[in-house]
Each structure stands twice: as structure tokens, then as C-alpha cells.
Amino acid sequence: MYKILQQEIWGNKIESYLIVVAILLFALVFKRFFSKFLAKLLYKLVSKAGKNIARESFLELVIQPLDIFIVLLIGLIAFDGLTFPPELNFTVFKLKFSRLLSSITDGVFIIIIIWLCLRVIDFIALILEEKADLTTDQTDNQLIIFFKDFLKVLLVIIGILLILRFSFNKNIGNLLTGLSIVGAAIALATRESMENLIASFIIFFDKPFTTGDLVKVNGFTGNIEKIGLRSTRIRTQEKTHISVPNKQMVDTIVDNYTMRTQRKAEIKLEIDLNANAAKLRKLLQDIIALMQPPFSQNGTAHLTDTGKNAHVITIEYYTPAAQSIEEFLLNKEQITLQIIELMEQAEIKLAAASSDLIVYNKVVQ
């Protein structure tokens, strides 16, 4: 048995191959134990939170990349004890096969580390989002999402540069110098994308709107769902999902309904010409008396026009912006019904050309 183990195949003893296989099996069996242990240590470095939910979320994010990292690391240590067979050291694209394997291994290591760092960023963002949800201001949530995406893009770029350096043996300094020239040309070619990126920073620091706000832009009305590096996602009132380039969100007039202090409504009455001045004056006084809290704020009623078809009375009033759309519609209904009752009591009819009240709200609700 001992002689069999001492026999050599491809420059290595069978005993050495068995040791490598045993180490790999050990790594595959106990990888989850080691990855959880490392994940717990890493958790202590990135968070002081003692909540089990946050801890479990972190473990779910980093366990998989840690498993692969541990197996690969132990496998490389085990294979390092073997002599690379000369028979396998052939040339591939003017590159020795041993060097090719080494470059691939370095690239895989870098990818796994970047992958792990991306998961850590996701976890930190998750913790920050939980804390931001405790406040009423949505700006914090907006900034967290933005910088999470920004850091991920930056990390991927760093990973690509590291792969070029260690896998392809490229000089990063010279590469960055060349990339700066190429980057300038790309920046000119992708000027619109750069403008959108700069506009995203303007949005975050100027804060004309935040996530969750109800806005109207370019004829579309909806709630801001996400402000990204290139565009702003809006869920319209028709429940469709649109993306508006950030440059347009900065350059175009954006009506932010969420920031309004009051909600305005307007009622237009076309009164029959048989109504005399005394009846109209009394109706105006009764309507103004009606336009008081809690029904409305700063209500006005004026005889704005008259002619051969009708006397026109325009009523404007405001309600608190904090009202929901259901409360606003119910309040408008109550006011309209009471105006109809006032007209019935005063025996005032609508003009023949107008079959009913013309009621509309000037703002999107």
C-alpha cells in the first residue's frame, strides 16, 4: 500500500493527490461553518446593531460569496503543494498554461472579493434605510439609494482595474493616463449621460422633490419612486411606470403638488337671466358665509360676467393640503349640495343653456 502511495503520476506522488482531495472535501464539508464564523466577525466590523433581523440579513448576503472564497482559497493552498506537470504546461495564445491558470485564479479572487464588498454595501444600505424609515423626511432614503448605486459602480470600476493589473499584467498608471484621454472623448460622445449624472447631484442637493412626492412634469403626473444616476422613475396616476432623464427634471418646470400649502377648487355657476340683482347679491352673501372652516379656507364668490345667455358666478375656495383625495371630494360634494340648496331657497335657476353646475378642480388630485 505504501509503495502504491509513493508512485508518481505527472511529477507528483499519489499520496499528494489524495491529500489535496482530502483537503478539498474538508473545505466543501465545513465551508458553511467557516463562512458563518467569518461572517459573524465581519458583521461586528460593519454594524453595532444587536437586532437578530439585521444580523440574519447580513448572513444571507455574505454567506454565498464567503463559501466560494473559502473553497477557492483552501483549494489553492492545497494545490500549491503539488508540482505543476510539465506535460500540461503547453502554450495557449503565446501564454504558458500555468500562467493562464494563475491569471484566471487571480481574476476569480478579485471578482469574489468585489462581490463580497457589494453585498456588504447592500447590508449597510439596508441598516441605514431602516433608520431612515423612522423619520418622516424621505430625503434620507433618497440619498441612501443614490450613494449605494454610486458606490457599487465605483467598486465595479476598481474591480475591473484590479483584474487588468493582476490578471492581464497591465500597468494601471499608464492605463489610467490612456483612459483619461479616452474618457474625455467618451465624455464628449456621451454628453447627455454626463449631463444626467450631474443633474442627479443637483437634484439631491437642491431637493426640488424627494422620493414619494406627487409631481407633474412634461404633462405626466405621478409619485416619485426612485431617483437614479441617469433618470427619475415616476409611477403615474394611471399606474404606469415612466423614466424621465434627470436633465429634464432639472431644466423643465416641475410642479410639486406635495409641497403645496393648500388645495384649490373652483365652482362656476351660470345663472338664469331672470334672477334680479337683489337675489344675486343675497346668493353671493350666502355663498361667502358658506365658504368658512371647516368646509373651506379663504373662499370667495364673485359675479364675474353677464351677457345674453347667463349671469356667471365664480366661486374659489381652498382646503388643507393634508386632506386626502377622498376627503377633498367629499368636502366638494357637501359644498356643491349646499349651494344647490341656497339656489332652491332663493328660487334661482340655472341658465337654460347650462343644465347643471360646472365644477372642476384646477390641480391634479
Spatial CB neighbours of 227, under 8 Å, sequence gap ≥ 6: 142, 145, 146, 200, 203, 204, 211, 233, 246
Q: What is the mean pLDDT of residues 126-154?
A: 76
Percent of the chain with pLDDT over 70: 79
Q: How confident is the model at residue 3 (pLDDT cuts 50, 70, 90)?
A: low
Per-residue confidence (pLDDT) for residue 50, from 0 to 100: 46
Q: Which of 61-65, 105-109, 298-302 comes out lowest in average pLDDT?
A: 61-65
Domain residue limits, the chain: 2-189, 196-258, 260-360
Average pLDDT of the residues in 328-346: 89
For residues 124-138, average pLDDT: 74
Percent of the chain scored above 90 by pLDDT?
Answer: 12
Are 215 and 257 in contact by the 8 Å Cβ rule? The answer is yes
Per-residue DSSP letter, 85? P
User: What pLDDT sits at residue 126?
Assistant: 79
> Domain 196-258: which topology?
SH3 type barrels. (2.30.30)
| pLDDT for the residue 341 | 92
Cβ contacts of residue 13 below 8 Å, gap of 6+? 5, 6, 7
pLDDT digits (tens, 9 = 90+) for 156-187: 988 888 888 887 777 776 666 666 665 665 55
3-state secondary structure 270-301: EECCCCCHHHHHHHHHHHHHHCCCCCCEEEEE
Strand ranges (E), the chain: 8-9, 12-13, 91-92, 95-96, 214-217, 220-227, 231-236, 241-245, 255-256, 262-271, 297-306, 311-320, 358-360
Residue 208's nearest CA partner among 194, 224, 222 is 224
User: What pLDDT, on the 0 to 100 scale, is given for residue 263?
Assistant: 83
Side chain identity, residue 169: N
> Is the pTM value of this prediction over 0.75?
no
Task: Report pLDDT digits (tens) over 181-227.
Answer: 656 655 555 667 778 888 888 888 888 888 888 899 988 889 998 88
Q: Report pLDDT for 2.
A: 60
* Packing angle, helices 139-166 and 191-206, rounded to 10: 140
CATH match of 260-360 with 3.30.70.100? yes
Residue-wise pLDDT tens digits, 18-29:
777 888 888 888
| Mean pLDDT across 132-147 | 71
Q: Does the pLDDT of residue 357 top 50, yes or no?
A: no
Determine contact, residues 189/196, Cβ cutoff 8 Å.
no
Q: How confident is the model at residue 359 (pLDDT cuts 50, 70, 90)?
A: very low
**Higher-confidence position of 200 and 354:** 200
Calculate the average pLDDT of the chain: 79
Identify the band that residue 56 occupies on the pLDDT scale cut at 50, 70 and 90.
confident
At 282 the pLDDT is 92
Of 220, 328, 208, residue with least CA distance to 256: 208
What distance in Å separates the CA atoms of residue 337 and residue 314, rounded to the nearest whole number? 16
Is the pLDDT at 51 greater than 60, yes or no? no
